[in-house]
Amino acid sequence: MMSTERKTATDQELMDMYRASLDRVIQRGWEQEVDRFRNISFENVDGRFFFKEYARCVYASGFGWAKVRKHWDALTDAYKSWDYAEVSRNEQEVREQAMKIIGNGRKVDSILSTAQALASEEWPKFKEWLMSIGLLLPPGELKFIGRVTRYHLARNIGADVAKPDRHIIRIAQKYGYPETPEGVQDFAKRVSMLTGERVGVVDVVLWRDSEGSNNQCM
């Protein structure tokens, strides 16, 4: 009986795949985003940046970033430019404005709850705790941050991890890696090692290539 196990791709196949994806992503106008993820460092992350990226993950969860992106400037205004202390002091006003933009009460209330928690917590202490757990929040520690979303948030604040969503799981499986979060990390780390890119950059490039959007006119 023939084996159905897929052979793991060669180093050359992985390098060729990544370089072709990177070329397409840059041609579609995402070079600035790629550079941002090349340069992000958790050392430079403050509480407002963390709050912004947390809210980004909450809104993108189940909606997709393309939908949220159209409203991001309005959401930034509604959430006081991600000043969580100001949000916590004006909770009702913020809730009313945010609901007019994207009317999902569970998401809005989750973001308001996290603003309150951050406002009552000393950021240096919270940041130190995040560093101690590799920036990967335990699932459920913050609302809407689950088994997959925690990788999204960690990547966005500087962790060298890949978000194991359906796009990169499919690509990893195509090149012979298990369809699991661990398989995705192994796949992205291998591409990272071969290309000299950070794992988070590999993830962003392959995601942008897979979802196919164009940023040249935006």
Joined tokens for residue 138: 């335990």
pLDDT tens, residue by residue, 55-80: 999 999 988 788 899 999 999 999 99
- The phi and psi torsions of 110 (rounded to 5 degrees) equal -65, -45
162, 188 Cβ separation under 8 angstroms: yes
Band of the pLDDT at 134, cuts 50, 70, 90?
A: very high
List, as own/partner pairs, every contact residues 211-218 make where C-beta atoms lie below 8 angstroms and the sequence separation is at least 24, other chains included: 211/66, 211/167, 212/28, 213/28, 213/66, 214/28, 214/29, 215/28, 215/29, 215/30, 215/33, 216/28, 216/29, 217/29, 218/29
The percent of residues in the chain predicted with pLDDT above 70, rounded, is 96
- Give the mean model confidence (pLDDT) for residues 153-161: 96
- Helix, coil or strand: residue 162: coil
Report the mean per-residue pLDDT for the chain. 93
Per-residue pLDDT at 67:
86
Per-residue pLDDT at 70:
93
- Give the mean model confidence (pLDDT) for residues 165-183: 93
Least confident range of 9-18, 108-117, 173-182? 173-182
The percent of residues in the chain predicted with pLDDT above 90, rounded, is 85
Q: Which pTM value belongs to this model?
A: 0.90
